[in-house]
Amino acid sequence: MMDPLTWQAGPRRARSVTEAPVKIAFAGKGGSGKTTLSALFTRHLAAQGLPVVAIDADINQHLAEALGTAQPPAMGAHLAEIKEYLRGDNPRISSAAAMVKTTPPGRGSRLLRPGGGDPVHALAADAPCGARLLATGPFEEEDLGVACYHSKTGAVELYLNHLADEPGEYVVVDCTAGADSFASGLFTRFDLTILVAEPTRKGISVYRQWQDYAAGYHVALAVAGNKAEGPEDVAFLREHAGDDLLAWLGHEPAVRAMEQGRPFTLSDLSPATRTVLGTIQARLDAQPRDWDRYARQAAEFHVRNARAWASAAAGEDLTTQVDRDFTVGQHAQSTAAFPAVPLGCLISGRACAWRLRAESPLQHLVAERNDDIA
């Protein structure tokens, strides 16, 4: 198995404009364009030779198709193994069964690097653009009535909580529709959340919900308008999103063509769409990572979760799982701190090589708003 850190030293790794690690989420109303933008942005990053892990955190799994790759095995179906791996020999976590989606890492836990050679990334599919794709998995018929689908998206929360990403590494998450990420602390796990909004009252209402729910959590939000067809649409978005309006897309013929079975390369995208992708990247790269906020909020949500239901469900006090002296950031810059990946992979089968196959040479897109349709 490949060492979890070896890909970082790979000769084809391009440097990001940023020196901060970056996790971005695309959220919004159902059908607003979350998957489309997640896929376009993932391809935009991968085309520059940047390491990127895309995660389909929606129970309606469409990101694999949008990235032109096979559906990866569901993380939700491997939760027990993922927990067993991540808890390592953390003495505060008595068993994998006592690990819930909000259980934070502590001393002894195993941390992940995006695209690393660990059993979690062994589940990933390689997309043709060079990105790796993880997926929570669909909500199965047999889950109906017996399981809450938050237990599926819980795999993503565990993943993000244990991720010791380093500068220039990107994680792109396609979220469930609406404000579902507020069912747990998931909404605090990103450096930037893009609310994809169609220029309608319903479209903008999800942004408002996020604004309300996220108030006080220091969560960076920006709005990307989608399917904006003219100046009135842009004016509507601007009126309702104000300075949070980062960029907007119109109808993108290449996206429609792909849905009709004709794949496209990034150079087939309209200049306006390419500019939007550059704008999002510039905004993301400018976002500082606050490891202390990450640790503080992980602890806060876990304690809340434990008191609300998790301790009773596990039959033990899970608030004691919080290791107050531990932040992932202490370990992110220090390779020596990384626990070794065991020789025996808990999840068998798939090769873990991180393959960067640039779609086009490194391109610097001008980071400006696309005022051409305003």
Ligand X SMILES: Nc1ncnc2c1ncn2[C@@H]1O[C@H](COP(=O)(O)OP(=O)(O)OP(=O)(O)O)[C@@H](O)[C@H]1O
Tell me the HSE value of 267 on the side-chain side, using a 13 A CA sphere.
7
Calculated CA dihedral for residues 201, 370, 173, 190, nearest 10 degrees: -90
Please choose which of Mg ion, ligand X, none residue 249 contacts, taking the beta carbon within 5 to 8 angstroms, the exact cut-off set by kind.
ligand X
Could you tell me which stretch among 34-42, 331-339, 352-360, 366-374 binds ligand X (CB under 6 A)? 34-42
DSSP-based three-state secondary structure for 195: strand
What is the Cα 293 distance to its own chain's centre?
Answer: 18
Q: Please, which residue, 47 or 57, has the CB nearer to ligand X?
A: 57
**Quick check: 186 and 156 in contact, CB under 8 A?**
yes
CB of 26 to Mg ion, least distance (A): 9
Which residue of 22, 56, 58, 173 would you call a contact of ligand X, by CB under 6 A? 58
Question: Phi and psi at residue 9, in whole multiples of 5°?
Answer: -85, 0
Which residues lie closer than 8 Å to 243 by C-beta, 6 or more apart?
A: none
Site for ligand X in 169-198 (CB under 6 A): 177
Binding status of residue 35 toward Mg ion by CB under 5 A = yes
DSSP strand pairing (125-126 vs 132-135): antiparallel
| In the complex, minimum distance from the CB of residue 266 to ligand X, in angstroms, rounded to a whole number | 14
In this structure, what are the phi and psi dihedrals at residue 227, rounded to the nearest 5 degrees?
60, 35
The CB-side HSE value for 124 (13 A sphere, CA atoms) comes to 30
With CB under 5 to 8 Å by kind, the binding choice for 324 among Mg ion, ligand X, none is none
Question: Residue 231 CB: number of other CB atoms within 10 A?
Answer: 10
**Is 264 in contact with 240 (CB distance < 8 Å)?**
no
62 is a contact residue toward Mg ion (CB under 5 A): yes
Longest dimension (CA), the chain: 59
x/- contact string, 14-33, with ligand X (CB under 6 A)?
Answer: --------------x-xxxx
Going residue by residue from 249 to 268, which x/- string records binding to ligand X, judged by CB under 6 A?
x-xx--xx--x---------
CB of 200 to ligand X, least distance (A): 13
Sites for ligand X among residues 59-98 (CB under 6 A): 60, 62
Nearer to Mg ion, 178 or 329 (CB): 178
Could you say whether residue 165 binds ligand X (CB under 6 A)?
A: no
Residue 161 interacts with which of Mg ion, ligand X, none, CB < 5 to 8 Å by class: none
- What is the binding site for Mg ion (CB under 5 A)? 34-35, 62
- What is the binding site for ligand X (CB under 6 A)? 28, 30-36, 58, 60, 62, 177, 226-227, 249, 251-252, 255-256, 259
